[in-house]
Amino acid sequence: MAHYVSALHSSALHSSALWPGDTGVLGEQPRRALLELIKGPYLSGVKAPALWSALLADEAGIRSRLDELFLELVVDRVGEFAFVRNVSTTELKVPSAVRSAALSFLDTAMLLVLRQMLLAGEGEGRVIVGRDDVFEQLRVYRTADRDESDFAKRLNSSWLNMKNKLRVIHQAGAEDRAEISPVLRLIVDAEQIQAIGAEYKRIAAAGGVVQIDIADDELDRGDTDPDDSEEQTA
């Protein structure tokens, strides 16, 4: 009888268990939302409405689990997206829970151009841009050692990174048209833009490579492309 009561008590304590021995406190959908956030680069309410609803329904529980991993949850209810980033605090030295990835010079420049286009057209609803329009704004960064063909190849590589790796743009109709995700507004903030702008001036004067530390841990968890190693950030 005592064993039966103990079993009942244990079951009550772990009513959210999904399998024998499971001690988790979140329900299935909130767990899936938590996993999507950790996998990154972000959780989209448009792309994954069920997980978005689960996040909003149990935001406090998910935040608590992330706190235990030294991660901060950022939620934009208007844009319907959320992502996690390393906790920033002066209270203690915290480990870097999310691995950051280096960006090439053109990747970083393209991020800035896309962010400027997003902010310029945000009041009109969805911001859709043409690939050629984006590339045109980046031609000022072609150096003398890069011919047109080589530079075009690198621009295309950065465009694909924006779409498939960082997921800050999504195809909109034709292959050369893309919608800019509103998540880009928060991922690259004003302070980072100022730092990047200053670094670009230095690069233009010295012909060096990007050495800034853009907070791209929200953007990507994967390894970098070894072909771009000479242009990677620190």
8-12, 89-93, 140-144, 169-173: the lowest-pLDDT one: 8-12
CATH 1.10.10 fits 15-86, yes or no: yes
When pLDDT is cut at 50, 70 and 90, the band that residue 56 belongs to is very high
| Domains 15-86 and 105-231 in one fold | yes
Q: How far is CA 183 from the centre of its chain?
A: 8
Query: 3-class secondary structure for the chain?
Result: CHHHHHHHHHHHHCCCCCCCCCCCCCCHHHHHHHHHHHHCCCEECCCCHHHHHHHHHCHHHHHHHHHCCCEEEEEECCCCEEEEEECCCCCCCCCCCCCCCCCCHHHHHHHHHHHHHHHHHHHHCCCEEEHHHHHHHHHHHCCCCCCHHHHHHHHHHHHHHHHHHCCCEEEECEEEEEEECCCHHHHCCHHHHHHHHHHHHHHHHHCCCCCCCCCHHHCCCCCCCHHHHHHCCC
Class of domain 105-231: mainly alpha
Half-sphere exposure of 178 (CA within 13 A, CB side): 22
Query: In the chain, what are the domain boundaries?
Result: 15-86, 105-231
Q: Which of 12-16, 142-146, 160-164 tops mean pLDDT? A: 160-164
> Residue 9: is its pLDDT beyond 70?
no
Q: pLDDT tens digits for 170-203?
A: 999 888 999 999 888 887 766 666 666 666 666 6
Task: Give the Cβ contact number of residue 103 at 10 Å.
Answer: 25
Q: What are phi and psi of 134, to 5 degrees?
A: -70, -45
* Residue whose entry in the numeric block shows the structure tokens 């309410």: 45
Q: pLDDT tens digits for 223-232?
A: 334 344 333 3
- Residues 128 and 63: their CA atoms lie apart, in Å, by 33
User: Smallest Cα–Cα separation from 94: which of 86, 104, 106, 82?
Assistant: 86
